[in-house]
Structure 1
Amino acid sequence: MQTYVQVTVLLLLAALIHEGAAIWCYRCTSATPGCADHFNWRGIGFLGEQCPESNDVCVKVTERREGRETITRDCLSALSFRTDIPADKYEGCRPAAKDVRLAHYVNHTIKEHDVKRDYFTDTTFCFCFLDHRCNGAGALKSSTLAAGAVVLLLLTKMCLL
């Protein structure tokens, strides 16, 4: 019995040790099955990808307009082309920044191009970097794996008594 508990604790500790320096994030859009508001990692078929930058941040971008919602989960470095990323990139959610000079000198009438990025009326960026694959949660919270580890350790302590 005691060997079983030790092996379980060692496996749990091995799962908590991070392999590389870069963070792992889910990288998908709400057009992908399982990547919408009710996130299901089994629906997207993979456990995320390692971000290209060593100091990267996982991002969940939610864009809304008249009842339609588009969600993008990705690494911050992959979204560097966007000009509406908030300056504060610490853990948590905040509204998109307004770029008043965006497409200031563009003059064409094709509204589908959305060069001024004003199609969506509400854009929210949620940043997280304290845990791998943290951009999968609906409301970004701390890891349930850590909570599970505490519960498992308490249960093993109770079994040893």
Structure 2
Amino acid sequence: MQAQALLTALLLMAAFIHESAAIWCYRCTSATPGCADNFNWRGIGFLGEQCPETNDICVKVTERRGAKETITRDCLSALNFRTDIPADKYEGCRPAAKDVRLGHYVNHTIKEHDVKRDYFTETTFCFCFLDHRCNAASGLHHPSALAGAAVLLLLLLRSVIY
């Protein structure tokens, strides 16, 4: 009986943790109510979306110019058009990369196009991939779902053995 319970617990864990499942991220901008720095998932009305690629990363982009702040929460694959994404995409926050050749061959005077991406004076990318919907956090301090699954597995094993 104990072997059946152990096998059932392992099969349940394997069903929930598999490599092909993509991470879920919040996908909104600070123009959406509830998506600003004081994040409120009830304000945006959904619990996030599954990222299109299996090895995706959740990203929070904070762009500042003076007192104006714009926050974008999305999957990294949805932001791949940007040339200022830092090369280091490990967990944590980093300043944006500088592309000196950006807009080099563009010659027009329409400043609203922002072809050199220099409107914002400070841009920060925060990457996270250890937990679903982790781009809600302001400082990226959150418990990992893997640690929670390990505790659950230990509790199940303890109840089966004793």
Query: What band does the TM-score fall into relative to the shorter chain?
Result: 0.7 to 0.9
Residues paired across the two proteins, number: 140
Alignment of 1:1-161 (within 5 A): 17-18=16-17, 21-143=21-143
- Which amino acid is the alignment partner of residue 87 of structure 1? A
Deviations, residues 33-86 of structure 1 (Å, cap 9, x unaligned): 000000000100000000000000000000000111000000000000000000
Report how far residue 88 of structure 1 moved. Answer: 0.3
- Given that 1:134 and 1:143 are in contact with CA atoms closer than 8 Å, whether structure 2 keeps it comes out as no
Runs of 5+ consecutive residues of structure 2 not aligned to the other structure: 1-8
Amino acid at match of 1:37: D
Across the aligned residues of Structure 1 and Structure 2, the Cα RMSD in angstroms comes to 2.3
SS of the equivalent of 1:43 reads helix
Which amino acid counterpart does residue 105 of structure 2 have in structure 1? Y
CA pair 94-29 structure 1, distance change in 2 beyond 3 A: same
Aligned equivalents of 2:145, 2:80: Cα separation in 1? 30
Q: CA deviation at 1:142?
A: 2.6
Identify if the C-alpha distance between structure 1 residues 145 and 53 changes in structure 2 by more than 3 Å, giving closer, same or farther.
Answer: closer
Contact 1:36 1:71 in 2 (8 A): yes
Unaligned runs of 5+ in 1: 1-9
Query: Hey, which bits of structure 1, 4+ residues long, moved more than 2 A?
Result: 17-20, 142-150
TM-score (norm. length: structure 2): 0.78
Tell me by how many angstroms 1:21 deviates.
Answer: 1.4
- Report the TM-score, using the length of structure 1 for normalisation: 0.79
- CA distances 1:90-117 after superposition (whole Å, capped 9, x unpaired): 0000000000000000000000110100
- In structure 2, how many angstroms separate the alpha carbons of the residues matched to 1:18 and 1:109? 52
Paired residues of 2:28 and 2:73 also in contact (CA < 8 A): yes
